């Protein structure tokens, strides 16, 4: 099994790659210019990483990632920027938020597959100034924090998940569990 990490140049992207390797998966980083047909052939799942772009203002900077969300038929995990891209593609609302940089408490409303084993609440690391203010119609909210209503969500019928927080950094309690869960989803 191989999982691809879409590299938008975010400061923590190498940590996503490292966490996937730590849970025993072959992982590879790639730029978003790779055609979706190649991504489909090469990977059993993809992670849309974080980055400094704001959606929809910077759509011209995220390469083929819109196509990945629309056409990739295998599991997808969006983290921060990836969370925003997924919400945008499926018709959710994004808005500027008060910048959050640092630790926040995330409250799990429904652990579903992706947050399984994270507990009812946990400390997570945030680094964003845009948030999903309204989830897309076909998505279910899985977690929230005091200031962000959509900390985690999933598509109701497709294996598409996303989180606002950064599970890859050591400041997120047991964040590696999110990657274990994603790998389990990819293995189905």
The CATH number that applies at residue 138 is 3.40.50.880
Q: What is the pLDDT of residue 113?
A: 96
Which of 84, 168, 173, 186 is catalytic? The answer is 168
168 as an active site residue: the answer is: yes
79's tokens? 């983290």
Q: How many CB atoms neighbour CB 156 within 10 A? A: 11
91's tokens? 């018709």
Q: In this structure, is the dihedral angle defined by the CA atoms of residues 88, 95, 148 and 137, taken in order, positive or negative? A: negative
Q: Name beta bridge partners: 144.
A: 107
Q: What is the pLDDT of residue 70?
A: 97
Low-confidence stretches of the chain (pLDDT beneath 70): 98-101, 128
Which of 126, 166, 173, 186 is catalytic? The answer is 166
Q: What is the pLDDT of residue 12?
A: 85
Tell me the whole-structure pTM to 2 decimals. Answer: 0.96
User: Based on the structure, what is the number of domains in the chain?
Assistant: 1
Q: What is the pLDDT of residue 127?
A: 79
Q: What is the pLDDT of residue 47?
A: 98
* Residue span of the structural domain in which 114 resides: 2-187
Which of 80, 83, 126, 186 is catalytic? The answer is 80
């Amino acid at each position: 099994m191989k999982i691809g990490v879409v590299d938008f140049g975010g400061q923590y992207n190498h940590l996503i790659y490292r966490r996937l390797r730590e849970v025993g998966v072959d992982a590879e980083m790639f730029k978003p210019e790779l055609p979706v047909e190649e991504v489909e052939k090469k990977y059993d799942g993809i992670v849309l990483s974080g980055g400094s772009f704001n959606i929809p203002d910077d759509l011209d900077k995220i390469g083929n990632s819109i196509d990945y969300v629309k056409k990739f038929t295998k599991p997808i995990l969006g983290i921060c920027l990836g969370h925003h891209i997924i919400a945008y593609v499926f018709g959710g609302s994004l808005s500027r938020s008060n910048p959050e940089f640092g630790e926040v408490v995330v409250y799990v409303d429904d652990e579903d597959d992706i947050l399984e084993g994270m507990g009812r609440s946990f400390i997570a690391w945030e680094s964003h100034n845009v948030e999903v203010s309204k989830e897309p119609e076909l998505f279910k909210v899985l977690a929230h924090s005091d200031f962000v209503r959509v900390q985690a969500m999933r598509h109701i019928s497709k294996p598409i998940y996303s989180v606002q927080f950064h599970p890859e950094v050591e400041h997120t309690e047991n964040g590696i569990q999110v990657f274990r869960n994603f790998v389990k989803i990819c293995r189905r």
